[in-house]
């Protein structure tokens, strides 16, 4: 055995082999087995594992081989292969080929009509959909078998199909739910939901199926309530809030369908189950039922369970039910408060500790949700609560204390003062408690007590605050997220009562601590206190210490937490001109950090810079701003987009605050550098760059030549088709500023040429840009050009012009009434065109025109438009008919419902069904829109028997 000085020790081959053999003989280690079961690979279902193995080309034999992923679990890692250890091709064995073929067959989609439009077919699907694989003659099948086959096909397409077939199948299944019947549906759906290999998406779809059929089946679902609850109640404790909401919706629909009595019968056995998990699900389910059918119906049942002498577990569940009802109902609990408190009041003196604790928690939840009302309802529980606080310890004391802390804000001043004084003694005693639950409870109670008038600032400053900072502002607290937040909030609440100066003085120690999480926690607290209370109370010594501490925290920052620079910025903004003596070292630190090798440090420095710019300006340090601007300008070559976005944001702030004449480097040097950055696809970079370009175009367009603005216009056109809304809005604003700066003529020429390109998205963006130009520079500068361009005999150009016209009319608003007679010939041509898109886009333009021009005396133009628009009511294309109906509704506003209804009456009673259908659809829209305004225009009934004279009176 050889040793090398300074080298790592390598295990000899003989020893390695012995260790491997001994590991195989001894069997698997228990710890290793547990760790293996927790791995992601072990959690994968069989189907995914097989697919993974097929792709990798390594199918495990029945005896099993060591997987590639499991190599790490060997006692000693094998020697790493060299890139020269190339293995020659080997013909696969017959057994491996056969197994590969069988596995491929297991996951392949069956070639039958019922399995069309499937994305995949799992091996587990063979168990639940065996009929899919059977080739049977439909003529030989009974009616029941045909129903079952049809249902299986629908369920399979819902579970494994593509989105289009899934939507159709769900709609079809819900329509035919009564025909299939509950037995057939639930016998098929529920076993699938209980399958452990089911994926989240598939489970969601099957749950959706149950939700849809519940409406249709109604009371027929009663025999299956227990089975449905078994599947849906676990959703109520899921981590995802959307899944929990889905579970609540299904149980709510089930309660409406099956009825209250059926739900109680189904859930009642679980109320006293030995397993706490099942009792928890039962309590949540009953709370949803109570909210659905009404809490008064549930109160007698809860009262009976609360006083059950048969089982303490039932009483425990009853208090949990009330807790969940309070959480679900919120302030809606108030009318039922007396009954619910009366149900569980005896639980505070129960012999079982769990029941006392859960009862106190339920009362606490009721008090919190009924704030600031309802103290009279709690009068019977205050005395047992107070006795419990003096006699209990540990978790029970924590729950009782929390309950009393929730009741104090509901009391009047006299009672609140007495109980606050007494409770504060217990709270101060428990400050030193090591129990986490007790610490959180103490903080909540302290927050509530601070809001009462009894606790004076002097008492808090002398007695409570020193102990609070001693026991809670510790390094250990900073590492516990929940406790960290609670302590920070409690510090802010104390600050409101004591004042900013005292709190900041006590936070100086944590702020200068070596531990970074502790410093971050202190900065977070300072940030919130200063935001709420300001810095007027601070003396010069405290200011100096605070700025010094924040600067050190900023310099020593090792994580990417934004609260450090945000807290620094909040303090600097609050101090304002008092920051002048400290600006020089702060700016030096920022410039230093901008050259740091870590990207998050540079980003934080640039963000802090943008916050400090207004403060520096207020301190009249223009030279310092120019120095910063030069350094930031030189940093525009930054590689990381997040950092680059922050740098551009800082430049934006400097340009906004400085006079452009004094700015260094000048605007005409900054802008050409920004133009290529507009092509950067990162959201933050694009938004900040567009905003900076827009700012320059708004406050200093004369500093940049027109050609440069045109270049930027073409870059912005590309950004108008961005998928991000904030980028599109910023580009829209900036385009308007540039058009206003250089005039509409040059911009319009470029935009109108763009309408001739093939790419639809670019044409739409160009139409938007033309609308913006019209809005900024006046419609009279744009309309002649687009009316002339419409003469071009090209469909794309004409559609683009119509779309641009729609945007123009939307943007210019009520001033569009001045141009209505110029636009009508163009709209007339578009509405009589054979192309559907022409008429669709023209209808869009008419909608905006009519909405803004109602009551302007232009009814003659709109009647002419209506004559051309009404024949399009029979269009069947969904995109077209929606816009036509919208345009007709808008036109009814412009000419009034009376005249408009003259076009509708005849169609309502036409002999052709399709004609009636179209006109009734329009009439229903008008009925909703105009309502009672239609009454004077209904046809007069000739028959005297049906006539009512009073309806003919017009006031």
Predicted local distance difference test score (pLDDT) of residue 71: 37
Q: How far is it, in rounded angstroms, from Cα 533 to Cα 523? A: 15
**Residue 272 confidence (pLDDT):** 87
Decide: 173 and 158 in contact? Cβ < 8 Å: yes
CA atoms within 13 A on the CB side of 5: 0
* pLDDT tens digits, one per residue of 906-934: 888 889 999 999 999 999 999 998 888 88
Token output for 825: 């010939």
Secondary-structure breakdown of the chain: helix, strand, coil percentages, each rounded to the nearest 5: 75, 0, 25
Q: How far apart are CA 651 and CA 660, in angstroms?
A: 12
CB neighbours of 907 closer than 8 A, spacing ≥ 6?
Answer: 873, 915, 916, 918, 919, 922
| Block residue for tokens 């740091």 | 596
How far is residue 921's CA from residue 868's CA, in Å, rounded to a whole number? 19
Which residues on neighbouring strands pair with residue 118, listed in sequence order?
A: 161
- The model's pLDDT over 525-566, given as tens digits with 9 standing for 90+, comes to 999 999 999 888 888 999 999 999 999 999 988 888 889 999
What number of other Cβ atoms are within 10 A of residue 893's Cβ? 17
Gap between the terminal Cα atoms of the chain: 115
* Cα–Cα dist 592/557, whole Å: 14
User: Residue 61 in 3-state DSSP?
Assistant: coil
Distance, in Å, from the CA atom of 655 to the CA atom of 695, rounded to the nearest integer, reads: 8
Q: Check residue 54 and give its pLDDT.
A: 45
pLDDT of residue 106: 46
pLDDT grade, residue 159 (50/70/90)?
confident
The band of 63, judged by pLDDT with boundaries at 50, 70 and 90, is: very low
Work out the angle between the directed axes of helices 500-511 and 516-533 (0-180°, nearest 10): 160
- Name the band, by pLDDT with cuts 50, 70 and 90, for residue 67: very low
Between 314-328, 448-462, 834-848, the lowest mean confidence (pLDDT) is in 448-462
Q: State the Cα–Cα distance between residues 905 and 927, nearest whole angstrom.
A: 13
Residue 751 has pLDDT above 60, yes or no: yes
β-strand partners of 103: none
Q: Which residue has the higher pLDDT, 788 or 452?
A: 788
Torsion from C-alpha of 325, 326, 332, 336, nearest 10 degrees: 80
Q: Would you call 941 helix, strand, or coil by DSSP?
A: coil
- The more confident residue out of 187 and 326 is 326
Question: Is the predicted pLDDT of residue 306 greater than 90, yes or no?
Answer: no
Three-class SS state of 161: strand
Residue 48's pLDDT is 46
Model confidence band, residue 44 (pLDDT cutoffs 50, 70, 90): very low
Q: Are 444 and 402 in contact (CB under 8 A)?
A: yes
Model pLDDT, residue 865 = 93
Are the C-beta atoms of 119 and 163 separated by less than 8 Å? no
Q: How far apart are CA 488 and CA 447, in angstroms?
A: 11
Please list, in sequence order, all residues whose beta carbon lies within 8 angstroms of the beta carbon of residue 591, skipping any fewer than 6 positions away: 628, 631
CB of 401 closer than 8 Å to CB of 416? no
C-alpha to C-alpha distance for 925 and 215, rounded to whole angstroms: 27
pLDDT tier at 42, thresholds 50, 70, 90:
low
| Minimum mean pLDDT range among 12-16, 376-380, 673-677, 702-706 | 12-16
Residue 954 has pLDDT above 70, yes or no: no
On whether the CB atoms of residues 457 and 501 are closer than 8 A, the answer is no
pLDDT score, position 437: 85
The dihedrals phi and psi of 907, each to the nearest 5 degrees, come to: -70, -25
Taking only the tens place, the pLDDT of each residue in 112-140 is 555 566 666 777 777 777 766 666 666 77
Query: Which residues, other chains included, contact 20 with Cβ-Cβ below 8 Å and sequence gap of 6+?
Result: 74, 75, 76
pLDDT of 9 above 50: no
Count CB-CB contacts under 10 A for residue 17.
11
**Local confidence band at 47 (pLDDT 50, 70, 90 cut-offs):** very low
C-alpha angle 701/703/709, rounded to 5°? Answer: 55
pLDDT of residue 16: 63
| Whole-number Å distance between alpha carbons of 795 and 593 | 57
Residues of the chain with CATH 1.25.10.10: 666-812
pLDDT at 937: 83
912: burial class by Cβ within 10 Å (0-12, 13-18, 19+)? Answer: exposed
C-alpha distance from residue 953 to each of 481, 860, 931, 935, 949 (Å): 72, 29, 18, 11, 7
CA–CA distance, 242 with 131 (Å, rounded to integer): 34
CA gap 328, 325 in Å, rounded: 5
Lowest mean pLDDT among 94-98, 328-332, 351-355, 561-565: 94-98
Q: Is the pLDDT of residue 150 over 90?
A: no
Q: What pLDDT is stored for residue 90 in this prediction?
A: 56
pLDDT of residue 124: 72
Task: Round to whole Å and give the CA distance between 651 and 677.
Answer: 14
Res. 40: pLDDT tops 60 = no
Q: Which of 95, 132, 141, 137 is nearest to 111 (CA)?
A: 132
How many whole angstroms separate alpha carbon 446 and alpha carbon 486? 11
CA-based nearest residue to 543, from 498, 574, 510: 574
pLDDT at position 389 over 80: yes
Distant-in-sequence, close-in-space partners of 159: CB < 8 Å, separation ≥ 6: 125, 192, 202, 205, 206
Read off the tokens for 138. Answer: 């439909």
Predicted confidence at residue 65, as pLDDT, reads: 42
Q: Is 394 left (phi over 0), alpha (psi -120 to 50) or beta?
A: left
**348 contacts: CB under 8 Å, gap ≥ 6:** 356, 359, 360, 363, 381, 384, 385, 388, 400
Q: Which token pair is 814?
A: 């009520």
In the chain, the largest separation of any two C-alpha atoms, in whole Å, equals 122
Q: Is the dihedral of CA 235, 237, 239, 245 positive or negative?
A: positive
pLDDT digits (tens, 9 = 90+) for 490-518: 999 999 988 899 999 999 999 999 999 99
Per the document, the length of the chain is 955
- Structure token digits, residue 379: 């009068």
Q: How far apart are CA 869 and CA 843, in angstroms?
A: 8
User: What CATH code is assigned to 666-812?
Assistant: 1.25.10.10
| Under 8 Å between Cβ of 658 and 695 | no
Are 113 and 132 in contact, with CB atoms under 8 Å apart?
Answer: no
Q: Using 50, 70 and 90 to split pLDDT, how confident is the model at 850?
A: very high
pLDDT at 69: 41
Look at residue 19 in the predicted model and tell me its pLDDT. 61
pLDDT digit string, tens, across residues 213-228: 888 888 888 888 888 8
Residue 161 forms beta bridges with which residues? 118
Measured CA to CA, the distance from residue 832 to residue 730 in angstroms comes to: 37
Residue 668 C-alpha from the chain's centroid:
42
- Does residue 665 have a cis peptide bond before it, meaning omega lies within 30 degrees of 0? yes
Residue listed under structure tokens 């009318």: 335
Q: What is the pLDDT of residues 694-713, one digit of tens each?
A: 999 999 888 888 888 888 88
CA distance 499 to 134: 80
The yes-or-no verdict on residue 944 having pLDDT over 60 is: no
Q: Using the predicted structure, report yes or no on whether residue 405 has a pLDDT greater than 70.
A: yes
Distance (Å, rounded) from C-alpha 627 to C-alpha 588? 11
| The two structure tokens encoding residue 826 | 């163009």
Q: Which residue has the higher pLDDT, 75 or 309?
A: 309
Contacts 24+ apart (CB under 8 A), 11-19: 11/76, 16/76, 19/75, 19/76
The closest alpha carbon to 443, from 431, 458, 425, 455, belongs to 431
Higher model confidence: residue 636 or residue 163? 636
Q: What pLDDT digit, counting tens, does each position of 576-631 carry?
A: 899 999 999 999 999 999 998 999 999 999 999 999 999 999 998 889 999 999 99
Which runs of consecutive H residues, i.e. helices, occur in 534-598? 540-555, 563-575, 583-593
Collapse the DSSP code of 954 into the 3-class scheme (helix H, G, I; strand E, B; otherwise coil) and give the result. Answer: coil
Q: How many helices (H) and strands (E) does the chain have?
A: 50, 0
Which tokens belong to 48?
Answer: 């995914």
Mean pLDDT of the 783-791 span: 91
SS3 823: helix
User: Is the bond leading into 372 cis (omega within 30 degrees of zero)?
Assistant: yes
pLDDT tens, residue by residue, 233-264: 888 888 888 888 888 988 998 898 888 899 99
Neighbours of 862 (CB within 10 A): 27
> Among 508-512, 714-718, 837-841, which is the least confidently predicted range?
714-718
């Amino acid at each position: 055995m050889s040793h090398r000085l300074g080298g790592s020790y390598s295990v000899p081959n003989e020893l390695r082999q012995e260790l491997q053999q001994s590991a195989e003989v001894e069997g698997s280690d228990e710890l290793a087995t547990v760790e293996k079961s927790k791995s992601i690979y072990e959690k994968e279902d069989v189907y995914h594992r097989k697919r993974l193995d097929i792709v990798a080309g390594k199918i495990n034999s029945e005896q099993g081989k060591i997987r590639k992923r499991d190599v790490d679990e060997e006692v000693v890692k094998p020697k790493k292969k060299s890139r020269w250890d190339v293995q020659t091709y080997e013909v696969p064995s017959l057994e491996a080929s056969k197994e590969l073929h069988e596995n491929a067959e297991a996951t392949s989609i069956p070639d039958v009509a019922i399995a069309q439009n499937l994305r995949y077919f799992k091996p587990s699907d063979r168990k639940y959909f065996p009929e899919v694989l059977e080739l049977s003659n439909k003529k030989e099948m009974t009616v029941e078998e045909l129903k079952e086959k049809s249902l299986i096909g629908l369920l399979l397409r819902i579970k494994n199909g593509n989105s289009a077939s899934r939507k159709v199948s769900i709609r079809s299944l819900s329509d035919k739910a009564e025909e299939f019947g509950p037995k057939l549906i639930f016998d098929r759906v529920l076993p699938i939901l209980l399958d452990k290999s089911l994926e989240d998406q598939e489970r969601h779809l099957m749950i959706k199926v149950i939700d849809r059929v519940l409406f249709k089946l109604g009371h027929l679902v009663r025999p299956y309530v227990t089975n449905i609850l078994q599947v849906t109640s676990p959703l109520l404790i899921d981590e995802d809030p959307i899944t929990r909401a889905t579970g609540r919706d299904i149980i709510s629909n089930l309660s409406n369908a099956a009825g209250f009595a059926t739900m109680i019968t189904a859930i009642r056995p679980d109320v006293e189950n030995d397993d706490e998990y099942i009792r928890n699900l039962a309590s949540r389910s009953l709370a949803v039922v109570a909210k659905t059918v009404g809490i008064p119906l549930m109160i007698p049942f809860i009262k009976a369970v609360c006083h059950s002498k048969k089982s303490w577990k039932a009483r425990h569940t009853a208090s949990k039910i009330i807790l969940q009802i309070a959480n679900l109902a919120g302030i809606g609990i108030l009318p039922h408060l007396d009954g619910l408190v009366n149900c569980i009041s005896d639980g505070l003196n129960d012999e079982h500790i769990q029941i006392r604790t859960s009862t106190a928690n339920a009362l606490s939840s009721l008090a919190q949700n009924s704030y600031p009302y309802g103290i009279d309802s709690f009068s019977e529980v205050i005395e047992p609560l107070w006795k419990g606080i003096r006699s209990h310890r540990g978790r029970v004391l924590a729950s009782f204390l929390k309950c009393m802390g929730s009741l104090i804000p509901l009391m009047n001043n006299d009672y609140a003062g007495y109980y606050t004084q007494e409770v504060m003694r217990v709270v101060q005693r428990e400050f030193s408690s090591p129990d986490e639950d007790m610490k959180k409870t103490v903080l909540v109670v302290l927050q509530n007590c601070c809001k009462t008038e009894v606790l004076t600032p002097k008492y808090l400053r002398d007695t409570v605050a020193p102990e609070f900072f001693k026991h809670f502002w510790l390094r250990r607290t900073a590492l516990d997220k929940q406790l960290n937040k609670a302590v920070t909030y409690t510090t802010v609440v104390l600050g409101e009562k004591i004042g900013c100066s005292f709190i900041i003085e006590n936070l100086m120690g944590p702020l200068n601590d070596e531990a970074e999480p502790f410093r971050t926690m202190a900065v977070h607290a300072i940030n919130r206190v200063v935001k709420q209370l300001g810095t007027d109370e601070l003396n010069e010594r405290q200011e100096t210490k605070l700025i010094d501490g924040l600067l050190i925290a900023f310099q020593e920052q090792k994580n990417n937490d934004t609260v450090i620079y945000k807290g620094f910025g909040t303090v600097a903004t609050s101090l304002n001109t008092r920051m002048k003596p400290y600006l020089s070292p702060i700016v030096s630190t920022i410039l230093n950090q901008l050259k740091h090798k870590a990207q998050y440090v540079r980003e934080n420095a640039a963000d802090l810079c943008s916050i400090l710019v207004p403060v520096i300006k207020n301190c009249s340090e223009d030279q310092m701003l120019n120095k910063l601007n030069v350094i930031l300008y030189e940093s525009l070559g930054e590689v990381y987009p997040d950092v680059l976005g922050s740098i551009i944001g800082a430049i934006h702030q400097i340009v906004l605050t400085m006079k452009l004449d004094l700015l260094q480097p000048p605007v005409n040097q900054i802008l050409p550098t920004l133009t290529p950055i507009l092509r950067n696809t990162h959201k933050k970079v694009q938004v900040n760059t567009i905003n900076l370009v827009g700012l320059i175009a708004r406050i200093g367009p004369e500093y940049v030549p027109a050609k440069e603005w045109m270049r930027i216009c073409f870059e912005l056109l590309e950004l108008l088709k961005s998928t991000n809304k904030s980028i599109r809005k910023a580009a829209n604003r900036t385009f308007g500023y540039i058009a206003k700066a250089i005039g509409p003529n040059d911009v319009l020429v470029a935009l109108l040429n763009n309408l001739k390109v093939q790419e639809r998205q670019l044409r739409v963006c160009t139409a938007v840009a033309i609308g913006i130009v019209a809005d900024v520079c006046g419609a009279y500068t744009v309309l002649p050009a687009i009316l002339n361009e419409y003469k071009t005999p090209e469909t794309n150009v004409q559609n683009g012009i119509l779309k641009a016209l729609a945007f123009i009319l939307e943007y210019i608003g009520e001033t569009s009434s001045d141009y209505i007679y110029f636009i009508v010939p163009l709209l007339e041509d578009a509405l009589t065109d054979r192309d559907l898109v022409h008429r669709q886009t023209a209808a869009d333009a008419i909608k905006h025109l009519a909405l803004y021009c109602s009551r302007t005396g232009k009814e003659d133009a709109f009647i002419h438009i209506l004559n051309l628009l009404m024949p399009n009511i029979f269009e069947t294309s969904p995109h077209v008919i929606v816009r036509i109906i919208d345009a007709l509704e808008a036109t009814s506003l412009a000419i009034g419902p009376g005249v408009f209804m003259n076009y509708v009456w005849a169609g309502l009673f036409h002999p052709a069904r399709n004609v009636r259908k179209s006109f009734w659809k329009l009439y229903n829209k008008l009925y909703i829109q105009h309502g009672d305004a239609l009454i004077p225009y209904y046809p007069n009934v000739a028959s005297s028997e049906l006539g009512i004279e009073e309806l003919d009176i017009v006031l």
